[in-house]
Amino acid sequence: MIRKTPLDRRTLLRLAALAAADHLSAQPPKQDPGAAGRKAVLVTLGGIRRQETFSLEGVVNIPRLANDLAPHGLFFPNVMNDGVTAHVNTISSIVTGAWQQLDDWGRHAPRHPTLFTYLQKQRHLGAADTWVVTSNKAVTRNIGVGANVILSKQLMVEAVERIILGQSPRRILVRDAVRDEMKAIMLAEYERIGWTMPSASRNVTDALVGGLTDFFDGPEGLTGGDEFTFVMAREVLRRLKPALMVINFSGVEVAHSGTYSLHLAGIRSVDMLCYRLWQFLDSEPSFKGRTTMVVMPEFGRDPDGSTTNGFFNHRTDTKICRLTWMLALGDAVREPRVEERTISHIDVAPTIGGLFGVDCKQADGKRIDGFAI
Amino acid sequence: MPSSARVEVAKELLDKLPRTFLPVLNQQLKDWDLLFPAEQRPIRATLDYLGRLDDSEREALLSPVKALEKRMNLPGWTAAKDHLGIEDTSVLARSPLYPEWRVEVEKLFDNINASVELPKSNKVVVSVLPAGLPLESAPLWPNLARRGRWIQLDRSFRSGLDAMVTSLARRPAAPDSEPVEHTWVLESVSHFSELADSPNWTVLSYEALAAARNEFRRRMNEIEKDLRSADETFDALRHVKIEMLLGPHLEADRRIREFIRALFLSGNGAVLFNNSFVQWGASEILRRAEPQALVCCFGIRPKLKPFSSLVLFEDQERANPVKEEPDPAGSLVDIQLLCDYVFLTTERLSNYEGRTLHIFAAADSDVILVVAPPSFPSLPSHDATVANITDMAISWLAA
ipTM of the complex: 0.88
Question: Any alpha helices (H) in chain A, and if so which ranges?
Answer: 9-26, 34-37, 63, 87-96, 115-122, 152-164, 175-188, 202-217, 225-240, 260-283, 319-322, 348-355
Q: Report d(CA A368, CA A370) in Å as an integer.
A: 6
Q: Specify burial of residue B166 (Cβ count, 10 A radius: 0-12, 13-18, 19+).
A: middle
Do B264 and B387 sit in the same domain of this protein?
yes
Q: Considering the domain boundaries, does residue B186 fall inside one?
A: yes
Q: Report d(CA A356, CA A354) in Å as an integer.
A: 5
On whether any CB of chain A is under 8 Å from the CB of B225, the answer is yes
- Rg of the Cα atoms in chain B: 22
**Would you place residue A218 in the very low, low, confident or very high pLDDT band (cuts 50, 70, 90)?**
confident
Residue A85 contacts residue A321 (beta carbons within 8 Å): yes
State how far the alpha carbon of A77 is from the alpha carbons of A295, A297, A312, B49, B359, in Å. Answer: 12, 11, 23, 48, 38
Do B95 and B174 sit in the same domain of this protein?
no
Predicted local confidence at residue A283, as pLDDT: 97
**Residue of chain A minimizing CA distance to B146:** A2
Do B304 and B393 sit in the same domain of this protein?
yes
Q: Phi and psi of B112, rounded to 5°?
A: -65, -45
Q: Considering the domain boundaries, does residue B3 fall inside one?
A: no
Predicted local confidence at residue A140, as pLDDT: 74
Q: Return the H-helix or E-strand segment holding B386.
A: helix B386-398
Chain B residues inside the 8 Å CB shell of A257: 268-269, 272-273, 276, 312
CATH code 3.30.70.2740 for A40-246+261-355: no
Chain B residues inside the 8 Å CB shell of A315: 93
Reading chain B (399 residues) residue by residue, the pLDDT tens digits are 556 677 777 778 888 888 888 888 888 888 899 999 999 999 999 999 999 999 999 999 999 999 998 888 777 666 666 666 666 677 777 788 888 888 899 899 889 988 888 888 999 999 999 999 999 999 999 999 999 999 999 999 999 999 999 999 999 999 889 999 999 999 999 999 989 989 999 999 999 999 999 999 888 877 665 556 777 888 888 888 888 888 777 878 899 999 999 999 999 999 999 999 999 999 999 999 999 999 999 999 999 887 777 776 667 777 777 888 999 999 999 999 999 999 999 999 999 999 999 999 999 999 999 999 999 998 887 789 999 999 999 999 999
- Dihedral over Cα of B348, B350, B352, B354: its sign: positive
Q: Is B269 left (phi over 0), alpha (psi -120 to 50) or beta?
A: left
Chain A residues inside the 8 Å CB shell of B309: 224
Q: What residues pair up with B153 in beta bridges, in sequence order?
A: B384
Q: Report d(CA A17, CA A110) in Å as an integer.
A: 39
Predicted local confidence at residue A29, as pLDDT: 47
User: Which of helix, strand or coil describes residue B104?
Assistant: helix
Q: Using alpha carbons, select from A164, A153, A310, A299 the residue that is nearest to residue A232.
A: A153
Residue A53 contacts residue A65 (beta carbons within 8 Å): yes
Predicted local confidence at residue A136, as pLDDT: 83
User: Which of helix, strand or coil describes residue A291?
Assistant: strand
* Residue ranges of domains in chain A: 40-246+261-355
Do B288 and B357 sit in the same domain of this protein?
yes
Interface of A with B in 166-205 (CB under 8 A): 171-174, 178, 194
Do B301 and B198 sit in the same domain of this protein?
yes
Chain A residues inside the 8 Å CB shell of B312: 254, 257
Chain B residues inside the 8 Å CB shell of A222: 306
Q: Return the H-helix or E-strand segment holding B63.
A: helix B55-70
On whether any CB of chain B is under 8 Å from the CB of A88, the answer is no
Q: Considering the domain boundaries, does residue B6 fall inside one?
A: no
Q: Report d(CA B185, CA B188) in Å as an integer.
A: 10
Residue-range definition of the domain harbouring residue B313: 123-398
Q: Considering the domain boundaries, does residue B320 fall inside one?
A: yes
Q: Phi and psi of A108, rounded to 5°?
A: -120, 145
Edge-to-edge strands of the sheet including B149-152? B149-152, B367-371, B356-362, B123-129, B293-297, B183-187, B201-205
Do B281 and B371 sit in the same domain of this protein?
yes
Determine the average pLDDT of the residues in A207-216: 88
The answer to whether the CB atoms of A172 and B275 lie below 8 A apart is no
- Both ends of chain A: CA-CA distance in Å? 44
Chain A residues inside the 8 Å CB shell of B333: 260-261, 264
The answer to whether the CB atoms of B269 and A312 lie below 8 A apart is yes
Chain A residues inside the 8 Å CB shell of B318: 164
Q: Considering the domain boundaries, does residue B4 fall inside one?
A: no
Q: Specify burial of residue A305 (Cβ count, 10 A radius: 0-12, 13-18, 19+).
A: middle
On whether any CB of chain A is under 8 Å from the CB of B347, the answer is yes
Span B16-49, pLDDT tens digits: 888 888 888 888 888 899 999 999 999 999 999 9
Do B47 and B19 sit in the same domain of this protein?
yes
Last residue of a domain, one of B73, B97, B115: B115
**Residue of chain B minimizing CA distance to A173:** B320
Interface of A with B in 44-73 (CB under 8 A): none
Pairs of CB atoms within 8 A across A/B? 132
Q: Report d(CA B254, CA A52) in Å as an integer.
A: 42
Q: Using alpha carbons, select from B30, B99, B88, B86 the residue that is nearest to residue B267.
A: B86
On whether any CB of chain B is under 8 Å from the CB of A163, the answer is yes
Q: Considering the domain boundaries, does residue B128 fall inside one?
A: yes
Predicted local confidence at residue B331, as pLDDT: 98
- A73 residue type, one letter: G
Predicted local confidence at residue B4, as pLDDT: 65
**Residue of chain A minimizing CA distance to B330:** A261
Do B144 and B96 sit in the same domain of this protein?
no
Do B313 and B222 sit in the same domain of this protein?
yes
Do B89 and B229 sit in the same domain of this protein?
no
On whether any CB of chain A is under 8 Å from the CB of B348, the answer is yes
Q: How far is the alpha carbon of B198 from chain A, nearest alpha carbon, in Å?
A: 32
Last residue of a domain, one of B115, B131, B149: B115
Last residue of a domain, one of B115, B142, B169: B115
Chain B residues inside the 8 Å CB shell of A264: 333
On whether any CB of chain A is under 8 Å from the CB of B346, the answer is no
